[in-house]
């Protein structure tokens, strides 16, 4: 990988923004844990809710941090910003559907990694790699946990499969070619990369 952009200089402002980012990540993780674990919440299953929290950590946190770290590797300023309205909607919809049907429907729009460049728009190959990093991390983690679920005994097979399926679902959802999802950005720069990632997420999700 090459490097693009200026050297990063850490200032007091960067530290304050870093604390805000940490708060946004924690709130987003907590809200999505409730959303994905709404069914377990109503059933009073502490273990199920805990597994949902782990699933969200591997799916949501890894996804956003992958975007951020790849962007920073190219000298870009990148931080996660929560969208609190989207988080509230996700929790409300999940709680309502879980109460009505026993299984939550999660429409996750927690926020995004905001990227800034001092030297103008980054080259297309940089934007492609940054956009691909999140879904790719979900596909890798989802595949690993799904395979592990086939090798483990119950109830661990169920919980490992849940973590894998949530990762693959988030990969598939984010790869839809609809702005502002990752899929639309990836398709803009490389249709081949998009179709490989999209097909992988879709096939793996339905296989496992």
CA atoms of 180 and 166, how far apart (whole Å)? 20
Considering only CA atoms, which of 169, 161, 171 is closest in space to residue 197?
171
Task: Give the H or E element holding residue 78.
Answer: strand 77-82
Give pLDDT < 70 ranges for the chain.
Answer: 1-17
Give me the catalytic one of 21, 64, 69, 127: 64
Give pLDDT, residue 3.
45
pLDDT tens per residue, range 63-90? 999 999 999 999 999 999 999 999 999 9
The separation between CA 179 and the C-alpha centre of its own chain, rounded to angstroms, equals 16
**Cis check: omega of the bond before 180, within 30 degrees of 0:** yes
- Catalytic annotation on 64? yes
pLDDT tens per residue, range 188-197? 999 999 999 9
In this prediction the pTM is 0.86
Phi-psi region at 44: left, alpha or beta (left = phi > 0; alpha = psi -120 to 50): left
């Amino acid at each position: 990988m090459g490097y693009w952009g200026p050297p990063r200089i850490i200032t007091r402002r960067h530290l304050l923004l870093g604390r805000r980012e940490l708060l946004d990540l924690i709130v987003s993780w907590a809200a999505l844990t409730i959303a994905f674990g709404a069914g377990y919440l109503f059933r009073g299953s502490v273990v199920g809710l805990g597994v949902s929290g782990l699933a969200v950590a591997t799916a949501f946190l890894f996804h956003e941090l992958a975007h951020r770290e790849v962007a920073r590797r190219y000298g870009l300023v990148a931080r996660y910003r929560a969208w609190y309205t989207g988080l509230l909607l996700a929790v409300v919809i999940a709680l309502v559907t879980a109460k009505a049907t026993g299984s939550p429907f999660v429409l996750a729009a927690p926020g995004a990694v905001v990227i800034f460049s001092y030297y103008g728009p980054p080259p297309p190959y940089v934007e492609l790699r940054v956009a691909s990093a999140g879904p790719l991390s979900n596909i890798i983690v989802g595949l690993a946990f799904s395979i592990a679920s086939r090798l483990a005994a119950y109830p661990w097979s169920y919980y490992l499969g849940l973590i894998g399926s949530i990762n693959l679902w988030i990969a598939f959802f984010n790869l839809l070619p609809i702005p502002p999802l990752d899929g639309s950005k990836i398709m803009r720069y490389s249709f081949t990369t998009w179709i490989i990632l999209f097909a992988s997420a879709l096939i793996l999700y339905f296989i496992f």
